[in-house]
């Protein structure tokens, strides 16, 4: 049988396969060469960058919890200038599709970063407005739909045609609304979910396990939550949704595609096994060969509409029973 | 992965067979794995990530860990690779109960190569607890004589003298409470005494808890003795990508324990 076509069309970009390396879990793109060459993936999103280099948080920065990983790295990064001169060119030279994840301490930082990336050769920009380690007044920018909307609008204007993807937080009061505002503000796509605010307590020291006290939970425990948010968000927008949250296997990835995603990001799985993204691409191909479907068949299937509320209410009264 | 042996030093990932399991103390086990063909020769201080494959032979209180855990190479003789396993959690407990024939997933060798850790002249090894892990790697590096200072909390953690004598020409064990063989007290007391002794200055290599590394750095700085420390920090990937183990470097900037270390000159980085 012919190799299945794994390409996925995001509208602004066609990926050779639907698996993207998630920001913060693929270094600056070349560290994993012995295990996972970046050009083999649909796209890579290197470690998020800010206007100036950031030192990040003190350690301990991460710990395992309930089958997942809690991190508070604190967005340590080399800064946009070094990134554009040192990290991006070798990735592009290898033929990798590269999204540049950007982060700011102020909403105004985002359009300035987008402006700097315009003309750099990057394939798209991902706005990190959702990191639990990046907060203003206790909330990530993305949790306030008004702030999210203006950050996206101004970044899109500054990016001069480079597509802008908004990376959204998992815990918001109305995911459909935030997704819709992202679309109306000019985002070419949305990616979700970022890690989930979380806490690990050390009974031995009666203190927190992380120096930052709280962090972001990722990995298998957040997958059902992420699937639900991808499902809700994709029902509210016509731009593509890039799904992520605990994807460790090809089956996980396919579930996200059925829930409404057009592509997926693999993150924590790569930390556990640097070959994970390649394994997942291979597994999607194996699945399609087995079922005789195309990726397009998977992407055109959608789950049924859900009840509007989480509770279905009391059962309707029935007649004619004793 | 494509076929053929990886270039020298390039880490690989493989399922390896357990060939020998040796209990050294109630919570310390030496695990020997069959080295895959063409496995790059690890340098002292380098490490590998390990994970026991297959169903665990012990009842688990919770689930398996998400991440493979890092262990210093204790020995490497071409055909086999040895790791000292100190039981501190689920995965180390599973590794300690493996039998010959069981499979372990290994990713390695990881960590920077430190050519300074081979050479001539006296070498002083300072190990605190599980810091004994990398100390088996120095016999083949040309140093002589090698002295080993080894500290444990109490006798129940202490590894036997016969095993220790295989690691160094001279062994000085310590227990905090004096319940074990050797002296009562902290291993740093031994270090201070050794550094005060007459004779050529040794190269010092230290592995253990952060307090030990800091005190060793202070003592060696005072006497202008060259020190290398093996730092420890929680690492998720071990490959330089997640920055979980990034620590401040003296003089500014940051270093990653997993790829820039774990061995650092004692005066440049502290956990």
Domain of A223: which CATH number? Answer: 3.20.20.70
Residue whose C-alpha is closest to residue A256's, from A286, A280, A278: A280
Residue ranges with strand state E in chain A: 8-9, 14-15, 19-21, 43-44, 62-65, 68-71, 99-102, 124-128, 164-167, 189-192, 196-199, 201-202, 207-208, 214-218, 241-243, 263-266
Residue A66: closest C-alpha in chain B: B63
Looking at A36, A63, A131, A311, which residue is catalytic?
A: A131
For residue B132, the distance in angstroms to the closest alpha carbon of chain A comes to 23
CA distance linking residue A236 with residue A168, whole number of Å: 14
Which residues of A fall within a CB distance of 8 Å from B51? none
- The answer to whether A165 touches A99, Cβ cutoff 8 Å, is yes
Instruction: Choose among A27, A55, A63: nearest Cβ to B241.
Output: A27
Test mutation, B8, B14, B68, B234, chain A, max A CBs within 10 A = B234
Domain positions in chain B: 12-110, 115-230
Helices A175-184 + A223-236 axis angle, to 10: 50
* Region of residue B61 (left: phi > 0; alpha: psi -120 to 50; beta: else): alpha
pLDDT of residue B271: 44
Please state the CATH superfamily assignment of the domain spanning residues B12-110 in this structure.
Translation factors (2.40.30.10)
Q: Answer yes or no: do A63 and B234 touch at CB < 8 A.
A: yes
Residue A205 tokens, joined: 């020291």
- Within a domain: residue A305? no
Mind listing the pLDDT tens digit for each residue in A293-305?
A: 999 999 998 888 7
Residue whose C-alpha is closest to residue A199's, from A211, A191, A208: A208
Mind listing the pLDDT tens digit for each residue in A307-316?
A: 655 555 666 6
Rounded to 5 degrees, φ, ψ at A165 are: -110, 130
Q: What is the mean pLDDT of chain A?
A: 93
Q: Answer yes or no: do B242 and A219 touch at CB < 8 A.
A: no
CA A105, chain centre distance (Å): 19
pLDDT at A321 over 70: no
R_g over Cα of chain B: 18
CA distance linking residue B71 with residue B140, whole number of Å: 19
CA distance linking residue B185 with residue B173, whole number of Å: 10
Structural domain count of chain A: 1
Q: Answer yes or no: do B245 and A26 touch at CB < 8 A.
A: no
pLDDT at A322 over 70: no
A36 is catalytic: no
Q: Answer yes or no: do A62 and B247 touch at CB < 8 A.
A: no
pLDDT at A203 over 50: yes
Which residues of B fall within a CB distance of 8 Å from A55? 248, 254
Expressed as residue numbers, the domain containing A143 is 8-57+73-194+219-300
Test mutation, B244, B245, B251, B257, chain A, max A CBs within 10 A = B244
Under 8 Å CB pairs connecting chains A and B tally to: 88
CA atoms B239, B243, B247, B250: torsion sign: positive
- Within a domain: residue A208? no
- Within a domain: residue A38? yes
Residue with token string 């055909």: B79
CA atoms B244, B248, B252, B258: torsion sign: negative
Q: What is the model's pTM?
A: 0.92
Mean pLDDT confidence for A186-211: 97
pLDDT of residue A304: 87
**% of chain A at pLDDT higher than 90:** 87
Residue with token string 């420390």: B229
CA A286, chain centre distance (Å): 24
From first to last of its 271 residues, chain B has per-residue pLDDT tens of 333 444 445 889 999 999 999 999 999 999 999 999 889 989 999 999 999 998 888 888 888 999 999 999 999 987 999 999 999 999 999 999 999 999 999 999 999 999 999 889 999 999 999 999 999 999 989 898 999 999 999 999 999 999 999 999 999 999 999 999 999 999 999 999 999 998 899 999 999 999 999 999 999 999 999 999 999 899 999 999 999 999 998 888 899 999 999 999 997 766 4
Residue B259: closest C-alpha in chain A: A31
R_g over Cα of chain A: 20
Residues with Cβ within 8 Å of A146's Cβ and at least 6 positions away in sequence, in order, are none
CATH topology (fold) of B115-230: Rossmann fold (3.40.50)
Mind listing the pLDDT tens digit for each residue in A56-113?
A: 999 999 999 999 999 999 999 999 999 999 999 999 999 999 999 999 999 999 999 9
Interface residues from chain B to A (CB-CB < 8 Å): 1, 6, 10-13, 63, 65-68, 107, 233-234, 236-237, 239-248, 254, 259, 271
Mind listing the pLDDT tens digit for each residue in A107-139?
A: 999 999 999 999 999 999 999 998 776 666 556
């Amino acid at each position: 049988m012919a190799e299945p076509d794994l390409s996925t069309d995001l509208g602004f970009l066609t990926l050779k396969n639907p698996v993207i390396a998630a920001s913060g879990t693929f270094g600056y793109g070349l560290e994993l060469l012995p295990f996972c060459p970046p050009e083999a993936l649909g796209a890579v999103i290197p470690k998020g960058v800010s206007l100036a280099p950031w030192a990040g948080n003190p350690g301990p920065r991460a710990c395992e919890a309930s089958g997942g990983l809690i991190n508070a790295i604190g967005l340590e990064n080399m800064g946009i200038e070094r990134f554009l001169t040192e990290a991006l060119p070798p990735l592009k030279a290898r033929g990798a599709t590269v999204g540049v994840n950007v982060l700011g301490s102020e909403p105004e930082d985002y359009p300035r970063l987008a402006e700097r990336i315009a003309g750099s050769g990057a394939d798209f920009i991902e706005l990190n407005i959702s990191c639990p380690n990046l907060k203003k007044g206790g909330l990530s920018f993305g949790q306030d739909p008004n702030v999210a909307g203006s950050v996206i609008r101004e970044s899109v204007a500054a990016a001069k045609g480079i597509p802008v993807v908004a990376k959204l937080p998992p815990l918001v009061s109305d995911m459909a609304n935030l997704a819709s505002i992202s679309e109306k503000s000019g985002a070419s796509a949305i990616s979700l979910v970022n890690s989930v605010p979380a806490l690990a307590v050390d009974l031995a020291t009666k203190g927190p396990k992380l120096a930052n006290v709280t962090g972001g939970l990722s990995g298998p425990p957040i997958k059902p939550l992420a699937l639900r948010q991808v499902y809700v968000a994709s029902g509210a927008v016509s731009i593509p949704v890039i799904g992520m949250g605990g994807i460790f296997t090809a089956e996980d990835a396919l579930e996200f595609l059925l829930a409404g995603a057009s592509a997926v990001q693999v993150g924590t799985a790569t930390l556990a096994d640097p070959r994970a993204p390649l394994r997942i691409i291979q597994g999607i191909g194996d699945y399609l060969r087995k079922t005789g479907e195309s990726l397009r068949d998977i992407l055109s299937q959608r789950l049924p509409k859900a009840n509007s509320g989480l509770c279905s209410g009391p059962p309707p009264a029935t007649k004619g029973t004793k | 992965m494509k076929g053929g042996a990886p270039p020298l030093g390039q880490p690989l990932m493989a399922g390896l067979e357990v060939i020998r399991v040796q209990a050294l103390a109630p919570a310390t086990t030496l695990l020997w794995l069959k080295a895959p063909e063409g496995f790059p020769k690890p340098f002292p201080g380098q490490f590998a990530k390990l994970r026991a494959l297959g169903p665990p032979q012990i009842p688990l209180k919770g689930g398996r860990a998400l991440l493979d855990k890092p262990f210093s190479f204790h020995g490497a003789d071409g055909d086999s690779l040895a790791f000292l396993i100190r039981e501190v959690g689920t995965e180390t407990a599973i590794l300690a109960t493996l039998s010959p024939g069981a499979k372990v997933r290994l990713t390695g060798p990881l960590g920077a190569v430190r050519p300074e850790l081979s050479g001539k002249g006296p070498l002083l090894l300072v190990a605190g607890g599980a810091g004994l892990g990398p100390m088996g790697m120095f016999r083949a590096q040309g140093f002589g004589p090698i002295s080993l200072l080894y500290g444990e909390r109490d006798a129940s953690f202490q590894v036997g003298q016969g095993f220790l004598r295989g690691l160094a020409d001279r062994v000085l064990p310590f227990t905090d409470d004096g319940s074990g063989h050797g002296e009562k007290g902290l291993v740093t007391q031994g270090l201070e005494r050794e550094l005060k002794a007459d004779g050529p200055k040794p190269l010092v290599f230290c592995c253990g808890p952060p307090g030990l590394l800091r005190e060793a750095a202070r003592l060696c700085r005072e006497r202008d003795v060259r020190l290398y420390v093996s730092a420890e920090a929680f690492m998720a990937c071990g490959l330089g990508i997640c920055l979980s183990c990034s620590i401040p470097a003296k003089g500014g900037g940051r270093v990653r324990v997993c790829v820039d270390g774990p061995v650092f000159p004692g005066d440049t980085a502290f956990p």
